[in-house]
Amino acid sequence: MAETPSLFDRLAVAETPPVAAEPVTVVIFGGAGDLAHRKLLPALYNLHLDGLLPPRTSIVGVGRKEFDDNKYRAFAKDGIEKFSRRPIDEHAWPTFADTVSFVNASIDDTEDRALAPLGSRLDIVEHERGLSGNRIYYLAVPPALFVPTVRQLNRARFVPPRDQATRDARPFARLIVEKPIGRDLQSACDIDDAIAEVFNEHQIYRIDHYLGKETVQNILVLRFANSIFEPLFNQKYIDHVQITVAEAEGVGTRANYYEQAGALRDMVQNHMLQLLSMIAMEPPHSLESDVVRDEKLEVLQSLRPIAGDRVDAQVVRGQYAAGFDLGKPVSGYRQEPGVSPTSTTETYVALQIFIDNWRWAGVPFFIRTGKRLPKRASEISVHLKEVPPILFNANPNGPLDPNVLSIRIQPDEGFALGISSKIPGPRVRVYPVQMDFHYGSTFGGTSPEAYERLLLDVMVGDSTLFMRRDAVEAGWRWVMPILDRWSAQKADAIPAYAAGSWGPEEADRLIESAGRQWRAL
């Protein structure tokens, strides 16, 4: 008998033409840090398993730890065993391990030859592996080291002059910058200015791991590859949109960072505004990276400013107090190690946002994010307007539930459409049902991690899922009046919510005052 055809044999699969990645040296500054251990090295390993890591590619970690190559490979293997979505393959591991090496160097050293050990190692590695000098520099370091590292790269002449670094120039040099980029508009501009002295904009990849998540990438396909949805995405049919990013854990070991950031800087200015721009953007005329990013920027530039008294009416902040996590008592934020006992840093924020353009005029977007909420969940829900109060919706005491399109970003990736249906039987009884799609059950296996997709995109030179300078600064420009209002108020305390709850009561009042309710997750 013939073999049963696979899903992709049975379906006509539309796909964009693949672009082959060129062999490259990936240099990870902060290569012995937590990000490299938990995310970057496992992601590169999974690309290797999938045959997507370009042949002869070299991975060089840079840091202060006294590692030799063997110790660094053990460090990488430990991270892969603990955090990779797939286990160690003992047949594939030796080949991958051979690509990994480590250099001890101090990147905050002001001496001109601080990166001399790295230069010597790159010369050896690239000669041994037959590499042409294509390099990706990943700044997996604290934000304070972004500019010193870039300047060290320039002093060491590891980056070609800007006037020679065209898009087609070979060998190429590309820079990956982790968030946060600054803590306000001025500091973000200062960092961007300093980096721009060394790298052209097309060489810079500002990474937001949320944009690498499979369901986030699927937003554009869902909207623009299905004629059922795009005609409805406007103020005629949409009542409101909710975006929720909930975290069950507390601040953990990140208190030093979080005390300086807070939820608005940490989540809203980047992740959540990026999600909002993707769900609200106009159809791009092509999938070329700058065309897509231009449309997202238009959304950010169309956000109605929230300033002065509007902040008090449209923004709620909160801080988790003692409570329970899965039945176990947990401390409040002010009792966490490294947190000031008088801290007013927000661990929760909810906002009502309007987009002042033709498509979304008058449609409120409600976004919320917080720590120590009941569960880990990220979702975008698009709430359609109610059907007229006639026929099946004529009973004012039992109105029909509006149709809701929910896009689940994590942990159960997929989307669902809530519709009304008749219950079987002689009587006409209407009941809400779900048309539900799950990535795991439809396609099988586990979806690639965000960093896998994003690292591969840098290798092929695709910047679609990365933030451009103007978008980063547009985000900061929009949130600054909120931060300024909070700073001027100089509050001794902000609304508290019990750990394990869905946030402060003020957040419920925010959405209820607009005649809506937060969606249950």
Which residue numbers are catalytic?
271
Q: Is 30 helix (H, G, I), strand (E, B) or coil?
A: coil
Residue with tokens 């979080």: 258
Contacts (Cβ under 8 Å, ≥6 apart) of 467: 206, 207, 208, 211, 270, 274
Nearest to 133 by CA among 45, 228, 25, 1: 25
Dihedral of the alpha carbons of 371, 375, 379, 382, in degrees to the nearest 10: -100
What is the spatial distance between Cα 355 and Cα 276, in angstroms, rounded to a whole number? 10
Residue-wise DSSP of 189-224: HHHHHHHHTTS-GGGEEEE-GGGGSHHHHHHHHHHH
Nearest to 313 by CA among 490, 484, 493, 485: 485
Q: Is 169 helix (H, G, I), strand (E, B) or coil?
A: coil
| Bridge partner residues of 437 (DSSP) | 415
Contacts (Cβ under 8 Å, ≥6 apart) of 388: none
Residue 270: both structure tokens together: 């980047």
What is the spatial distance between Cα 498 and Cα 372, in angstroms, rounded to a whole number? 8
Helix, strand, coil percent content, the chain, rounded in steps of 5:
40, 20, 40
Residue 216: both structure tokens together: 């986030």
What is the spatial distance between Cα 386 and Cα 394, in angstroms, rounded to a whole number? 12
What is the spatial distance between Cα 139 and Cα 178, in angstroms, rounded to a whole number? 7
What is the spatial distance between Cα 367 and Cα 351, in angstroms, rounded to a whole number? 5
What is the spatial distance between Cα 331 and Cα 204, in angstroms, rounded to a whole number? 40
What is the spatial distance between Cα 517 and Cα 520, in angstroms, rounded to a whole number? 9
